[in-house]
Structure 1
Amino acid sequence: MSEKELVQEAKTRETVKAEKKVKQKEEAKPQRWVRVRMLPIWLRILLVIVLLAASLAFGAMVGYGVIGDGNPADVFKKETWQHIIDIVVKK
């Protein structure tokens, strides 16, 4: 090997060692993952409750209006529910 090749090889060894030291320092530091939530937990819970109420209302409208051949808006009237309760209780 020529003197030039030995110098180049020594330089590459030094750079490899330096890279290994940098990697070891990075691995030694504990990485903390900071999670930024787009929606806070309280807003998620509120959103689930609202979606459940909306699906319940929509399901009642479909069930009463389409399946039961009634007017879907009648689901929200007190008289309709009183009639349903009377049928179930058999008064």
Structure 2
Amino acid sequence: MENIDVQSETRQERRQQKHENTKEEKQRVRKPKKLRVKLIPIWLRIIIVLVLVVVFFLIGAMIGYGVIGEGSPSDVFKPSTWSHITDIIDEGTPAEAE
């Protein structure tokens, strides 16, 4: 009986040593994590994206009105141009009944 107990103890000891060895190996092999430094904070990224959207919208409107629509590209910034465009759009829709 004692022989069996000794064997089981040695098995447990071997398992424990093996487990400890693998932990040590993993810690040695593991590379230290790199700290990621964000050069541009998230709030500034959002502002930059919104500004770029507005800029590209204006450039697209100038190209669309000036080149495709054969008008002056600077006329895009006049309120009369936009009121004329909304009048053309509203012309095809039925009036609201009051």
Report the equivalent of 2:86: 85
**Could you list the per-position Cα deviations for residues 17-64 of structure 1 after superposition, in whole angstroms to 9, with x for gaps in the alignment?**
xxxxxx959627773331111111111111100101000000000000
Give the Cα–Cα distance (whole angstroms) in 2 for the partners of residues 65 and 29 of structure 1: 60
Aligned to 1:74: 75
Gaps of 5+ in 2: 1-23, 93-98
Q: Structure 1: which amino acid aligns with 2:88?
A: I
- What is the total number of aligned residue pairs between the two structures? 69
Letter of the structure 2 residue corresponding to residue 82 of structure 1: S
Q: CA RMSD in A?
A: 2.4
Q: TM-score, normalised by structure 2?
A: 0.61
Which position in structure 1 is the counterpart of 2:60? 59
Superposed structure 1 runs of 4+ greater than 4 Å apart? 23-26
- Percent identity between matched residues is 48
Q: Which amino acid aligns with 1:27?
A: R
Letter in 1 for 2:82: W
Equivalence for 2:44: 43
Amino acid at match of 1:71: S
SS in 1 for 2:47: helix
Q: Deviation per CA, 1:67-90, whole angstroms, max 9, x where unpaired?
A: 000000000110000000000001
